Amino acid sequence: MCNNLVMEYVKFWILVFCTFTTISHTSAESDEDDDYLTFPPGFRLGAGGAAYQIEGAWNVSGKGVSVWDTFTHTYPQNIKDGSNGDVACDSYHKYKEDVRLVKEIGLKYYRFSLSWTRILPTGYPNVVSKDGLRYYNDLIDELHRNGIEPVVTLYHWDLPQVLEDQGGWTNDEVVNWFGDYARIVFTEFGPKVKIFTTINEPTSFCREGYGHLNRAPNKDLDPCGTYLCGHNALKAHARAYHIYDREFRPTQNGKIGIVFACPGQIAKNPGDEATVDTYYQFTCGWFAHPIYSEEGDYPQIMKTRVAKNSFDEGYFRSRLPVFSPKWIEYIRGTADYFGLNHYTSVLVEEAPKERETILDTGIHASVDSSWPDTATSWLKIVPSGFGGILRKIRDEYNNPNVFVLENGCSDNRTTLSDTQRIEYFYSYLKEMITAIKRDGCNVTMYSIWSLLDNFEWNDGYAEGFGIVQVDFKDPNRTRTPKLSVDRWKEVVRTRKLQPLNPTIEDASELFGHQGRKRSAKC
Ligand SMILES: *[C@@H]1O[C@H](CO)[C@@H](O)[C@H](O)[C@H]1NC(C)=O
Ligand SMILES: *[C@@H]1O[C@H](CO)[C@@H](O)[C@H](O)[C@H]1NC(C)=O
Ligand SMILES: *[C@@H]1O[C@H](CO)[C@@H](O)[C@H](O)[C@H]1NC(C)=O
Ligand SMILES: *[C@@H]1O[C@H](CO)[C@@H](O)[C@H](O)[C@H]1NC(C)=O
């Protein structure tokens, strides 16, 4: 009796509460908003950088020459400011400062890549550099001493030049070369590293390094070279995965995966979801489908379109190489997590044949003029695209565990007051947390890209993604935190996103009317 009364009473108040929260949601959405600003329990935050972009010391202790050493020295005119990574942030000497910065912000892990030629100067495992091993062991130990987990990428674009001279990623021997290198890495560092990433953004170096003249190794091999590079990169990744899985996992018990560049895509003509899907399959799906889908192999639309174009053009076979059933099986399932690099989005529409399209998509990509610019020409601020790609990955591959391994934006390195970056992180992370909490996307790690301003590939030092500025004119490569470091410290401490500095009265002055309007909406 008494219990029943209590139950009725409880029910009444639940009803009142629900009605009230529904009303308040429809009117202000404030509770929900608040929840989407708070990181879920156990969610991990970190920051990253890549060997060639930060280490410098390109020729110390017998280090071998990589394709990026060769490219920047041979074609300085291809780098915006004619610079190179010879010294970069000098992290080879200053790694302790980098670790201290990560610690001061309160981040839980640090993502960095290994320089293949620093460890194996000849490119092969016949010579293992003592100094190369010493450097990475010192860095890993320094991280552990400071309670920071190392997240280690084996390959971030700096192939040994000697292997490039034999075809590099277009020679399928690279599967053996990469496997041998990976075995050395797991043997030497595996006891102290629990998260490995095999290859960073194969779409980027395959398209821009082998497809057309732009980045190292500066080969112009399309319309076939891009796909051939990708084919071998998938095989090489799978080889490294299986080596880890069989020989090292039983004792080291870590996780290993690969990381893709997955842009967001939004239909130029509302409702044109077929085009959105095709574009996705040719960018993210090209590498993700063979690994994460249940059936494996390239996405069907990719096989169909490339084959059709190839036969139309007079080839006897598809320019997209074909995997044997054995290779399909060997590659399928070779990742313990889904590594995601995401920066920006594009508008996509079917294109008439004569218009420039991406690979064989038959799609024209453009940007919306209302999307705010950053210092990087290709990087527009489109937070909604981040949520979109996370939901797409959830739907395509049965909700894999996603590690966001790169996200950030650039500035032109003239100011420490990087308010646009603060706004970028706020709006993108809010999208991500919403995708986790509202849409059930299984994202558990997020990496700020990057810790330091560094050698930004073809853009040299003209722009910086760092939350810490580096003075590249100073031989000491002095590091100075930007405003976003202060903001990150607060976010990490409270585990809650903070909007732009409330003391800035009128943010439209900072971003222009359009930018502010958009980000308020997102
Ligand atoms: C290494 O390269 C620098 C230029 O970046 C050069 O000044 C130096 O002499 C080189 N050192 C060796 C050992 O070759
Ligand atoms: C997310 O992925 C991790 C690792 O695979 C798994 O343990 C966890 O159960 C997943 N969480 C959800 C909500 O699916
Ligand atoms: C750099 O960016 C700032 C802020 O966006 C802008 O005011 C300035 O003109 C830019 N400087 C250069 C050299 O592009
Ligand atoms: C170089 O930087 C370190 C760390 O910030 C500092 O302790 C040192 O005094 C600097 N040296 C010079 C010559 O500026």
Question: What CATH number does residue 420 fall under?
Answer: 3.20.20.80
pLDDT at residue 95, rounded to an integer? 98
Ligand 3 center–CA 411 separation, angstroms: 8
Residues with a CB atom less than 6 Å from ligand 4: 476, 478
pLDDT at residue 188, rounded to an integer? 98
Give the range of the structural domain holding residue 503, as residue numbers without chain letter.
52-515
Q: Residue 375: inside a domain, yes or no? A: yes
Average pLDDT of the segment spanning 455-468: 97
- The preferred substitution site among 373, 379, 410, 414 for testing ligand 3, maximizing ligand atoms within 8 Å of CB, is 414
Per-residue tokens: 224: 């076939």
Judged against a pLDDT cut of 90, whether residue 125 lies above it is answered with yes
pLDDT at residue 18, rounded to an integer? 38
pLDDT at residue 191, rounded to an integer? 98
Of the candidates 470, 487, 291, 284, the one whose C-alpha atom is nearest the C-alpha of residue 391 is: 284
Per-residue tokens: 183: 């075995």
Amino acid (1-letter code) at residue 172: D
Residues identified as active-site: 201, 406
pTM over 0.85: yes
Of the candidates 429, 339, 450, 343, the one whose C-alpha atom is nearest the C-alpha of residue 102 is: 450
pLDDT at residue 352, rounded to an integer? 77
pLDDT at residue 505, rounded to an integer? 40
Task: With beta carbons less than 8 A apart as the criterion, state whether 483 and 82 touch.
Answer: no
Nearest ligand to the CA of 416 is 3
DSSP secondary structure letter of residue 206? I
Which residue has the CA at smallest separation from atom 8 of ligand 4? 476
Which residue has the CA at smallest separation from atom 13 of ligand 2? 442
Ligand 3 center–CA 345 separation, angstroms: 23
Judged against a pLDDT cut of 80, whether residue 2 lies above it is answered with no
Q: Residue 13: inside a domain, yes or no? A: no
Report the residue count for the chain. Answer: 522
- The preferred substitution site among 94, 468, 478, 480 for testing ligand 4, maximizing ligand atoms within 8 Å of CB, is 478
Q: How far apart are CA 91 and CA 96, in angstroms?
A: 8
Which residue has the CA at smallest separation from atom 6 of ligand 2? 401
Of 165-179, 236-250, 276-290, 347-361, least confident by mean pLDDT is 347-361
pLDDT at residue 469, rounded to an integer? 98
Q: Report which of residues 9 and 479 the model is more confident about.
A: 479
Judged against a pLDDT cut of 60, whether residue 19 lies above it is answered with no
Task: With beta carbons less than 8 A apart as the criterion, state whether 205 and 218 touch.
Answer: no
pLDDT digits over 242-299, tens only?
999 999 999 999 999 999 999 999 999 999 999 999 999 999 999 999 999 999 999 9
Q: Residue 232: inside a domain, yes or no? A: yes
Average pLDDT of the segment spanning 184-200: 98
Strand order across the beta sheet in which 363-366 lies: 264-267, 345-350, 363-366
Q: How far apart are CA 1 and CA 127, in angstroms?
A: 83
Domains in the chain: how many in total?
Answer: 1
Q: How far is CA 60 from CA 55, 90, 461, in A?
A: 11, 12, 22
Judged against a pLDDT cut of 60, whether residue 29 lies above it is answered with no
Judged against a pLDDT cut of 50, whether residue 376 lies above it is answered with yes
Q: Residue 3: inside a domain, yes or no? A: no
pLDDT at residue 506, rounded to an integer? 40
Per-residue tokens: 334: 């070779």
Q: How far apart are CA 347 and CA 245, in angstroms?
A: 39
pLDDT at residue 500, rounded to an integer? 74
Average pLDDT over the chain reads: 91
pLDDT digits over 142-164, tens only?
999 999 999 999 999 999 999 99
